[in-house]
Amino acid sequence: MTLKVLIVDDEALARERLRTLLGDCRAPAANVVAEAANAAQALAWLGRQQIDLALIDIHMPGTDGLTLAQTVSALPQPPAVVFVTAYAEHAVAAFELEVLDYLTKPVRLERLQAALQKADRSRQSAQGKSAALPEQMLIIQERGRTERVPLSQVLYLKAELKYITVRTPTKSYLLEGSLSELEDKYRDRFMRVHRNALIARDAVQALEKHHDPQEGEGWAVRLIGIDELLLVSRRQLAAVRELVKG
């Protein structure tokens, strides 16, 4: 699964560094769906977007991160909170607020990945308590063996000849079937970006200008966890732009 992350820091360079580090995280991956320079902006985002994890600086103009975390904890569906700060002396106060973790700047990739894993375990635990439906699976039959691939791990589905390529962050599979049937069945999870491709809605990282030897100048979508770009058709471009905006 991919964590939806909100970065809250009054320094643009600090937000950019965190975004870059999050782009390198795997298992789980992270999708930065919003950034905020202060507490008011953060709460505005939380009011209209479901967030899994908020990375919050402590020293900010106006309402500081400690106060913001208290406010966030009172929300109906609060995200997990991890403090990211240059000041280690607030650690005791932070954990009294029952935040998930406390990272000091400059943040190391390994520590950030560990914090994401904590957030993912916390989310899974909460989902388990809410009696969620069993994980949906794709049944892959390859070379005489059958494998169950969790739908939550699938980044894209791409039709190629008579097969569909099923791509996860670590592996590709071949599946016999119809792309249109998969689109109809899992419409809430995937969206069409091209006549031959569906992408996971929560895996989108960016929309980029792209030159394709066959189709010329156009657009492509970058997904979290893989380097491969997927072409976006003119017909689907507006919908993908809206998805990227969140």
Report pLDDT for 246: 65
Contacts of 158 (CB under 8 A, 6+ apart): 164, 165, 167, 196, 197, 198, 230
What confidence score (pLDDT) does residue 132 get? Answer: 47
Token couple for 11 = 């320094």
Per-residue pLDDT of the chain (246 residues; tens, 9 = 90+): 789 999 999 999 999 999 999 999 998 999 999 999 999 999 999 988 889 999 999 999 999 999 999 899 888 789 999 999 887 776 667 667 778 889 999 999 999 999 999 999 888 877 665 544 566 889 888 777 788 899 989 999 999 888 999 999 889 999 988 999 999 999 989 999 999 999 999 889 899 998 877 767 899 999 988 889 999 999 999 999 988 876
Say if CB 6 and CB 36 are below 8 A apart: yes
Edge-to-edge strand ranges of the sheet holding 53-56? 29-36, 2-8, 53-56, 80-85, 101-104
Q: 């990282």: which residue's tokens?
A: 205
What is d(CA 170, CA 167) in angstroms, rounded to the nearest whole number?
8
Structural domains in the chain? Answer: 2-129 (3.40.50.2300), 137-245 (2.40.50.1020)
| Predicted TM-score (pTM) of this structure | 0.53
DSSP state of 176: E
Tell me the Ramachandran region of residue 216: left when phi exceeds 0, alpha when psi lies from -120 to 50, beta otherwise.
left
φ, ψ of residue 183 to 5 degrees: the values are: -60, -45
Q: Are 117 and 26 in contact (CB under 8 A)?
A: no
